[in-house]
């Protein structure tokens, strides 16, 4: 078996080297600055060895990532040969010609999108959505999930008090409402001489934070952007009674279950609150879970993980990205060679082992996958029910409107949930009218 694997890897190396030899000997890959990017640097050393191409990396902190990369693409810059860009960018990147359409390349190299998890192909690769028009290879599966202080949950005195109050054992929540009860139970509680709080959630206004957090509740209640896909018919979907209830729930979670002053928090603040022992639970992207588990203070046997709980439906907010070839690269052959190399199942298995989240079925469908990490099974479950924000070319305007409406209602106490969602429909209708979609 080992000999056959080595032979296969050698053949792949020869193929990669052959593809990449025609142009420049360097590539720059652009992505956000976070743990998976560091893992990709290490993984890519194998590509450098096989191809002779030097890999350079441009990693931008998350708060600045979208602005920096979208400005780069829109200005026709040549910083990036390869870009791991957010799913929401797909419509604009395809329609503006920023990304190379990869269908012919996939056909030539025998790369099949059937080999990747369907949800990731749909979200990270296609435009228009669901059509066989591919502008990226699924690269980094991700969803918004939860983690908690397993050691606190297990304490007999806490278990006893919780059961007396709620009539059930303190355990991972099986619904959004159970999650709220647990957060409220821990809110202001003293543990080991320190006041702790229920949960760290996303409330940030400036980029995408509060939208990515609140949609975890909205999707779980059954929220939809349109009454039927592609219709832009939002009335009764965006502002449905279920959506109103979900938004009211998220505001109550914020008001009664989060640390004081937690009014502008996203990824970093959620991680800090948990690692510093402030909260019993926290939401964040699965991408951070390997690092959380390895944390010397709150990881290991002190932590456990769970999927975003359902309420009316099982659903999670989609994260993650595909990897695309930037259309104006000056090393097209090298960039395509990297895509071919990255699509190899053996590379994908190594990617998962190093902390990246593979979307390849050779990894995800392995019967032993759920045993490879304490959050592996949760990841599979979450990716089976992910939902994404608009991927329209005007997504930035759509996102800014939702950020403002949600933050004003949830954090700033302005108006009602119904008014916030009605106003959001008005905002989005104006954007789609300007785009000629309505």
Q: Is residue 26 one of the residues assigned to a domain? A: yes
d(CA 220, CA 215): 8
Domain end, chosen from 266, 289, 317, is at: 317
Interhelix angle 395-410/209-221, nearest 10 degrees: 80
Dump pLDDT digits (tens) for 32-50. Answer: 999 999 999 999 999 999 9
Pairing mode, strands 82-86 and 316-325? antiparallel
User: Chain-wide mean pLDDT for the chain?
Assistant: 94
Dump pLDDT digits (tens) for 349-403. Answer: 999 999 999 999 999 999 999 999 999 999 999 999 999 999 999 999 999 999 9
Q: Is residue 217 one of the residues assigned to a domain? A: yes
Long-range contacts of 42-45 (CB under 8 A, 24+ apart): 42/354, 43/347, 43/350, 43/351, 43/354, 43/356, 44/338
Percent of the chain exceeding pLDDT 70 equals: 95
How much is the pLDDT for 23?
52
How much is the pLDDT for 74?
94
How much is the pLDDT for 16?
52
Average pLDDT over residues 184-213: 98
Is pLDDT of 15 > 70? no
Dump pLDDT digits (tens) for 65-105. Answer: 999 999 999 999 999 999 999 999 999 999 999 999 999 99
159 and 304 share a domain? yes
d(CA 42, CA 172): 35
User: Which tokens belong to 250?
Assistant: 């998220």
Dump pLDDT digits (tens) for 217-252. Answer: 999 999 999 999 999 999 999 999 999 999 999 999
Average pLDDT over residues 186-203: 98
Q: How confident is the model at residue 10 (pLDDT cuts 50, 70, 90)?
A: very low
150 and 138 share a domain? no
Of residues 393 and 9, more confidence is placed in 393
130 and 218 share a domain? no
* Cβ atoms within 10 Å, residue 415: 13
* Cβ atoms within 10 Å, residue 385: 18
Sign of CA dihedral 14, 135, 325, 380: negative
327 and 313 share a domain? no
How much is the pLDDT for 22?
43
Give how many domains the chain has, as a whole number: 2
164 and 260 share a domain? yes
270 and 149 share a domain? yes
Is pLDDT of 13 > 90? no
Domain end, chosen from 280, 298, 317, is at: 317
User: Which tokens belong to 54?
Assistant: 């030097």
Q: Is residue 404 one of the residues assigned to a domain? A: no
* Cβ atoms within 10 Å, residue 78: 12
The closest of 158, 349, 57, 298 to 166, measured between CA atoms, is 158
How much is the pLDDT for 246?
98
Average pLDDT over residues 159-166: 98
d(CA 84, CA 139): 8
204 and 133 share a domain? no
Lowest mean pLDDT across 15-19, 23-27, 159-163, 352-356 = 15-19
Average pLDDT over residues 272-292: 98
How far is Cα of residue 347 from the mean position of the Cα atoms in its chain? 21
Q: Is residue 415 one of the residues assigned to a domain? A: no
Q: Is residue 230 one of the residues assigned to a domain? A: yes
Q: Is residue 284 one of the residues assigned to a domain? A: yes
Lowest mean pLDDT across 9-18, 92-101, 115-124 = 9-18
Is pLDDT of 19 > 60? no
Average pLDDT over residues 401-421: 98
Q: How confident is the model at residue 121 (pLDDT cuts 50, 70, 90)?
A: very high
32 and 136 share a domain? yes
Q: Is residue 152 one of the residues assigned to a domain? A: yes
Average pLDDT over residues 409-413: 98
Task: Give the SS3 label for residue 305.
Answer: strand
261 and 179 share a domain? yes
How much is the pLDDT for 370?
97
How much is the pLDDT for 135?
98
258 and 235 share a domain? yes
How much is the pLDDT for 240?
98
Of residues 207 and 17, more confidence is placed in 207
The closest of 141, 140, 134, 137 to 94, measured between CA atoms, is 134
Q: How confident is the model at residue 7 (pLDDT cuts 50, 70, 90)?
A: very low
122 and 155 share a domain? no
Q: Which domain holds residue 277?
A: 144-317
Pairing mode, strands 137-149 and 316-325? antiparallel
Is pLDDT of 4 > 90? no
254 and 336 share a domain? no
Is pLDDT of 11 > 90? no
For position 308, which CATH number holds? 3.40.190.10
How much is the pLDDT for 75?
95
Q: Is residue 333 one of the residues assigned to a domain? A: yes
Domain end, chosen from 286, 317, 348, is at: 317
């Amino acid at each position: 078996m080992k000999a056959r694997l080595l032979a296969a890897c050698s053949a792949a190396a020869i193929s990669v080297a052959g593809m990449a030899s025609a142009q420049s000997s360097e590539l720059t890959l652009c992505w956000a600055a976070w743990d998976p990017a560091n893992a990709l640097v290490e993984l890519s050393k194998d590509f450098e060895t096989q191809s002779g191409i030097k890999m350079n990396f441009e990693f931008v902190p998350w708060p600045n990532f979208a602005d920096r990369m979208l400005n780069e693409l829109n200005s026709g810059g040549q910083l990036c040969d390869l870009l791991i860009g957010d799913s929401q960018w797909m419509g604009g990147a395809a329609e503006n010609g920023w990304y190379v359409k990869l269908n012919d390349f996939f056909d030539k190299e025998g790369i099949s999108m059937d080999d990747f998890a369907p949800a990731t192909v749909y979200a990270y690769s296609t435009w228009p959505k669901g059509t066989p028009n591919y502008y990226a290879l699924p690269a980094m599966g991700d969803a918004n999930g939860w983690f908690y202080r397993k050691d606190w949950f297990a304490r007999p005195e806490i278990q006893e008090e919780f059961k007396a109050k709620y009539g059930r054992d303190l355990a991972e929540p099986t619904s959004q409402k159970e999650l709220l009860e647990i957060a409220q139970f821990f809110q202001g509680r003293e543990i080991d001489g320190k006041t702790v709080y229920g949960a760290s959630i996303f409330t940030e206004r400036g980029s995408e934070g509060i939208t990515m957090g609140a949609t975890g509740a909205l999707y779980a209640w059954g929220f939809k952007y349109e009454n039927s896909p592609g219709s832009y018919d939002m009335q009764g979907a965006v502002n449905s009674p279920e959506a109103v209830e979900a938004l009211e729930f998220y505001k109550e979670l914020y008001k009664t279950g989060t640390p004081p002053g937690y009014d502008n928090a996203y990824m970093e603040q959620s991680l800090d609150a948990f690692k510093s022992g402030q909260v019993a639970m926290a939401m964040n992207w699965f991408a951070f879970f390997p690092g959380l588990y390895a944390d010397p203070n709150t990881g290991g046997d002190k932590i456990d993980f769970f999927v975003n709980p359902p309420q009316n439906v099982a659903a999670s907010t989609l994260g993650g990205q595909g990897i695309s070839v930037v259309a104006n690269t000056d090393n097209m052959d090298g960039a395509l060679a990297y895509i071919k190399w990255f699509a190899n199942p053996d590379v994908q298995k190594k990617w998962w082992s190093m902390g990246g989240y593979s979307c390849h079925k050779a990894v995800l469908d392995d019967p032993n996958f759920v045993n490879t990490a304490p959050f592996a099974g949760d990841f599979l479950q979450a990716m089976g029910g992910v939902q994404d924000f608009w991927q329209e070319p005007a997504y930035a305007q759509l996102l800014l409107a939702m950020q403002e409406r949600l933050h004003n209602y949830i954090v700033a106490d302005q108006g009602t949930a119904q008014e916030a969602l009605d106003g959001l429909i008005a905002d989005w209708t104006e954007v789609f009218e300007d785009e000629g979609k309505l």
